[in-house]
Amino acid sequence: MKLLIDHADIGRIRKAYQYYPMDGVTTNPSILAATGRKPFDVLREIRDFIGPEGELHAQVIARDKDGMIRDAHRIAEVLGMETWVKIPSVPEGFAAMRELSAEGLNITATAIYTPMQAYLAAKSGAKYAAVYVNRIDNMGFNGIGVAKEVHDIYRNNGMDAGLLCASFKNSQQVLELAKYGVKAATVGPDVIESFVKNAAITSAVEDFIRDFEKLTGPGKTMSDC
Ligand code: G3P
């Protein structure tokens, strides 16, 4: 399972990349709005940091098909053809996905709450389907269950698309989908940090260091021996 960070603050992105094996960055209009900065300034900064090989996902805003296509072209022009263009999984979005995927753009179908949206998105040429796990849970349904159903639909129909699961509130939700073998998860920085935020882990590592220092003296490490 690929691991992406769902954030637009370059400081949080740099920190995640510093410590963890990140595969890319996802944004959405709300995430960009939270920066208070010009959208393409933020997105260019992220692209420069992660390079052309890093997955960068940026969303179209227009409501109609032609507007979505214009937004997608602008995203590809500014951020590179390899950029993943996020398109909402609504009727106009499926029409835009068909045209843009035929042009060779990378399409991420987003705002997916139901398995049938994901099915239509894959048939329309999207290569990623962004299922909103926690938002589905908050509606009283089973976000993990929807993601698993989409995974099964793609596998059982031989569809050339994968899941980019999104909207996570805790590490357990990510774990469930990693076990199931989904293609990718995009996770906020706080939840990524929670993967290893555990007093038992910290204590075990500190105990090892203290024991070693009893042998070699304070502050000594293997390189001093
Ligand atoms: O990018 C969309 C998705 O990540 C939304 O997450 O936390 O706003 O439900 P959230």
User: How does pLDDT run across 128-160, given as a tens digit for each residue?
Assistant: 999 999 999 999 999 999 999 999 999 999 999
Q: Which residues contact 3 (CB under 8 A, 6 or more apart)?
A: 20, 21, 22, 23, 184, 185, 186, 187, 192
Q: For position 185, which CATH number holds?
A: 3.20.20.70
User: Which of helix, strand or coil describes residue 130?
Assistant: strand
- Residue 207 to residues 28, 96, 196, 200, 201: CA-CA distances in angstroms? 42, 57, 17, 10, 10
Instruction: Quote the pTM value.
Output: 0.95
Domain hosting residue 220, numbered range: 195-225
Nearest atom within ligand 1 for CA of residue 59? 1
Give yes or no: residues 67 and 148 share one domain.
Answer: yes
Provide the 3-class DSSP secondary structure of residue 168.
Answer: coil
Q: How much is the pLDDT for 153? A: 98
How many whole angstroms separate alpha carbon 136 and alpha carbon 199?
31
Q: And the tokens for 147? A: 């993601």
What count of residues does the chain have? 225
Atom 9 of ligand 1, nearest CA residue: 167
Is there a single domain that holds both residue 49 and residue 139?
A: yes
Same domain assignment for residues 67 and 87: yes
> Separation of 64 CA from ligand 1 center, angstroms?
22
**Does one domain contain both 73 and 146?**
yes
Q: Are residues 209 and 127 in the same domain?
A: no
214 in the same domain as 136: no
What is the reported pLDDT for 23?
A: 98
Ligand 1 binding residues, C-beta < 6 A: 6, 26, 28, 132, 134-135, 166-167
**Residue 220 annotated to the active site:** no
**What pLDDT does residue 124 have?**
98
Is residue 65 domain-shared with residue 39, that is, in the same domain? yes
Q: Of residues 15, 65, 86, 197, which has the active-site annotation?
A: 86
Q: How many domains does the chain have?
A: 2
Could you tell me if 158 and 204 lie in one domain?
A: no
Q: What does each of the 225 residues of the chain score in pLDDT, given as a tens digit?
A: 999 999 999 999 999 999 999 999 999 999 999 999 999 999 999 999 999 999 999 999 999 999 999 999 999 999 999 999 999 999 999 999 999 999 999 999 999 999 999 999 999 999 999 999 999 999 999 999 999 999 999 999 999 999 999 999 999 999 999 999 999 999 999 999 999 999 999 999 999 999 999 999 999 999 999
Tell which one of 4, 31, 113, 187 to mutate to probe ligand 1, the residue whose CB is within 8 A of the most ligand atoms.
31
**Whether 102 and 207 share a structural domain:** no
Phi and psi at 80, nearest 5°, equal: 105, 145
Counting ligand 1 atoms within 8 A of each CB, the residue from 86, 110, 134 with the most, and so the one to mutate, is 134
Instruction: Identify whether residues 176 and 94 lie together within a single domain.
Output: yes
Same domain, 32 and 99: yes
What is the CA(210)–ligand 1 centre distance, in A? 42
What is the reported pLDDT for 171? 97
Q: By alpha-carbon position, which residue is closest to atom 3 of ligand 1?
A: 167
